Structures are given as C-alpha cells and as structure tokens.
Amino acid sequence: MSNTELVALGKRIAELRIARQLKQTELAYEAGLSHRTLQRLEAGEVVKTDGLINVLRSLGRLEGVMVTLDSSSFSPYEMLSDAGLKLSRLKKQRDAKALIGGEEAGLGISKPSARKRRVRRSRDAGSVVGKSSGPSVKAVKVQWTEDQR
C-alpha cells in the first residue's frame, strides 16, 4: 500500500468517525486502541492490522470490507487455464525439480540434517572425549546441556 493510499484510508476513517459524531478518544476506546494509534491511522501512518480491523468494526464498516474480499468466485484452476497452463504439466515440472534440486528448486524439500550437539569441557581436563587420533588423547567427562539440571 502506498503512502497516498494510507493517507486516503486515514482520511476516510476520520470522515466516518466525524459522521458518527465521535471524538478520537471515544473511537479509540471503543476499538480498544490507544488514542495515539488512532491518530496515526487517521494521519495515514502504518499501524498494525488488528488496530485497523477494530476501528472498522467499531465504525460498522468491517462487514463491507469483508464482502469486497469475498473470494467465492476465485478459482485457481480457472486462473491456470486463462494463462494457458495445465495443472498436470505444472505437477510434472514440480516433481522433476524435486528430484533434481529439492530445496534449491524452492519446494521446501530438504534432506534431513544432523543436529550439532554442544559439548562442554570438563573443568578438570583439557580435552573432550571423541574419536581418538592416537593414544595421547585424554579421556574426560562430557556434560551435555540436556543433562544439566
């Protein structure tokens, strides 16, 4: 949303508030917002979405907004066919990418990765028990973070 659209939205909200003969503090209280948040909204500044929804609900305009967002006529299959694409072809492309690239293809498929465990050294020795490269490695007590209480 551009800055001019936010300003226009804020101006319209202010007009609706004035038409209902409400002060900013009254509408803010009714919507469950701070007075400053409503001031920001009416000035066209960015506010959280739930604040906007609460103001629209308090002004009796939320249902109108929800009706305009009704997506019952939306069909992804119709959009694909309008673009000249077929779903079966897209599925084949996706499957091929999954076999080739996995996560690189942007499909969210990834190989399981080994989780690294944090090792803490014991206070009385200088090395950690692990794969020994020879007989000179000292054996020490390893304390896992999960074992600490």
Radius of gyration of the chain (CA): 30
pLDDT band at residue 34 under the 50/70/90 scheme: very high
**pLDDT, tens only, 72-96:** 666 666 777 777 777 777 777 777 7
Q: Which domains, ranges and CATH numbers included, belong to the chain?
A: 3-68 (1.10.260.40), 76-105 (no CATH), 117-149 (no CATH)
* CA terminus-to-terminus distance, the chain: 50
Digit-coded pLDDT (tens) for 90-120 = 777 777 766 766 544 444 544 555 566 666 6
Per DSSP, 146 falls in state G
Retrieve residue 116's tokens. Answer: 């690294």
CB atoms within 10 A of CB 112: 5
